[in-house]
Structure 1
Amino acid sequence: MNDDPTNSYTVGLNYSGFTPASGAPSVATLAPPGTGITTAAGGSASSQTIAPYSAEVVTLQPGTTATPPTTPGTPTASNVTSTGATLSWTASTSSSGLAGYDVVSVTGGTETVVASPTTNSATLTGLTPSTAYTFAVYARDTAGNRSARSGTVAVTTSAGSTGGASCKVTYTPNVWGGGFTGNVTVANTGTAPWTSWTVAFAFPGDEKVTSAWNATVTQSGANVTATSLSYNGAIAPGATTSFGFQGTWSASSASPTAFTVNGSACTTG
């Protein structure tokens, strides 16, 4: 409290048996005419300047010396099916107690938690057939600290089944020097409707997909998978849908000739 009506004073703060967190603490200030209290971060845990004729309450947070868990081992995949996989990794250690792990699916710079086991393995379900995934693992301790991310593992699910349905795929390219677009028309030539679809194929050349529309398109090496979106997954018997992509090429822009839908081979035309 500063009861001087004209001068500010700087106060040094020291503590015994307590280490405050770094950064500016929360400071509640009662200033003239004394009808309200303002709260804001200000000063430091070791120094505060008190304005004339005012009072301050400084709220400190404890510092932490907690060491996060060690980094989990790079996961390995087993029992890979069309819709699931099992991941396992070398366990982490923690000085404050290990709480569990976060398994994340990595897509570019985005991470999505897909499992949070308490042991060093996880069984993943609900994956899409014929789709490439990248997974990694974090460890968590009982204090809420997270380890560095493990190495990544690439997993490609096996083909599913269309339930006996037939399909036809028409691929229409537009090629220029170093670039191309590909338009893909998918037809349900069977008797059962589809609720979703995954088209898979391989480029015979060195094409690389850079963008896509009307489908989520991923590429691993020469292998490409395209999965339906929320608005175009349902295809009735005799109906069609289409999607496309743009890409680059260097040595060869040869078109793919073999396609599958949900794991079943399709005719082309």
Structure 2
Amino acid sequence: MRSRMKARLRGCAVLAALPAIPLALFALVAPAGAATQLCGATDTVSVGGGEYIAQNNIWGADTPQCITVDGTSFTVDSAGHDNSTSGAPAAYPSLFKGCHWGQCTTGSGLPVQVDGDMPSVTTDWSTTLPGSGSYNAAYDLWYNTTPATTGAPDGAEMMIWLDYSGPVQPAGTRVATGVQISGATWDVWTTQMDWRYIAYVRTAGTASVDDLDLRAFTRDAVARDAVEEDWYLIDVEAGFEIWQGGQGLRTNAFSVDVGGTTNPPTDPPGEGRQCSATLRTDNSWNSGFTATVTVTNTGDEPLSGWTADWTFTGGQRILNGWNATVTQSGADVRAVNANYNGAVPEGGSTSFGFQGSGPAPGTPAVACTAG
């Protein structure tokens, strides 16, 4: 949830962004062609003939913020936020289609069930991002276990980060890198709170997207057990989680199309090259240990190579490795396949090992990138 995409993810894990529960369940209605300024923490306005709702949504701080909404565009006019980037953001000014904590837009086509017959859900979003501040530009999707549109969602939250600025990152742990969805490459983060949480962070930041395939993201989340097939997508939001600064952030245009086309998704779960990796400690003694990492082909194409990345948390050091080239920089470790075990068939696996100094590492999360 939370320097531009080229700056590597860093800093402490932050809390998941929970959009504020509106105190009022009815949005103002903006006259056609009229701009409306929202400054109250829970102020909202209905736009686009009721198809969308814009919200100021200051939920993680008492600092001021005003946005000006003009149709399906809005600008952050002023913001006095100064939250720690290791904690929750101050606000998530945004537009949404669907039902947000019981507040619903009209004619949204949502909820839709997350199953094999899930209709196409695509979105366009154009933004303007200032060069300073700590924020992200991110979608926030909500899933419910039933088609109910009242109250708080009880299934899962999915965030899709297009870009970000400052030392911010999603909640939880990075569990995969190099994931191909909707024509771009993403890192994946997950955690468990009162609901399941999954975040996709675009590895090459962008200020705009066209025809972003939300069905493809949903199916990938199902494959990762972050969303269940019998749940319902009830809400699609797009906005800016702001920790510090924020003035000048702008949504130029935003739209969501539900059920427009029914062509098969270009990136269903498991399509193409994908892999996972797990680490286990084999032996340990006072001053060291040995461990094995198993790499599994989880896609539907053979792998031609793979890379495994993980982070030590107890000061461990790599002494030597076998069946892979293992390197270490600080606490970060990377292993690249040997020339004889990079090819892994569909459903197949291979393994490598290493010896290290320090305490046994337990079972750290390992991110696998398929080649």
The higher-RCO structure (CA 8 Å, 6+ apart) is: 2
TM-score interval, smaller chain: 0.3 to 0.5
- Look at both structures and tell me which one has the larger radius of gyration over its CA atoms: 1
